[in-house]
Amino acid sequence: MKIATCVSRDKLLTLGVCFGRFSKTGKFRLHITALDYVSQYAKYKVWVKTNGEMPFMYGNHILKAHMSRITEDTPENQGVVVYSMSDVPLGFGVTARSSADLKKVDPTGIVVLHQSDAGEYLREEQSLI
C-alpha cells in the first residue's frame, strides 16, 4: 500500500486483492485470488487424494473415488474449500451431496462441483486483473 502512494491517482488501476466480481445477473462470483483468505475461515472442507488433484486443477468435478475425507455434517449445495492431502488449498467447490448421502454414491458419482481452482492463475491470467 505504501508503494501505491507514490503513483498518481489517475495512473493507479487497482490496489489490494481482488476477491471476486459481480456477474451480469448481479451474483457475486469468488475468484481464486481470494483462496488464501477464505481457506483460513472455511467451515466446510474437502480433502482430495493425490490422484484427484490434477483432474480438479484442470477444471473437472471431484468424484467420490478421488475424495479422501470431508467435514462432518456438510449439507448439500454448500460451498467448500478443496484441500490436497498435505493441507494445501486447491480451490473452491459446491457439494453435490451431503456428507450423510455419500455412503450411497457410487465411486464415479460427482461429490463436489468445481467452482474455481489454483490452475485458473495460468488459464485465465489475462482476465483476473
Residue 104 CB burial class (10 angstroms; 0-12, 13-18, ≥19): exposed
pLDDT in tens, 85-109: 999 999 999 999 999 999 899 999 9
Cα separation, 53 vs 15, in Å, equals 32
Q: Is the pTM of this model over 0.75?
A: yes
Pairing of strands 45-48, 79-83: parallel
User: What's the start-to-end Cα distance of the chain, in Å?
Assistant: 17
pLDDT in tens, 18-60: 788 888 999 888 888 889 999 999 999 999 999 999 999 999 9
Q: What pLDDT does residue 106 have?
A: 94
User: And the C-alpha cell for 120?
Assistant: 485458473
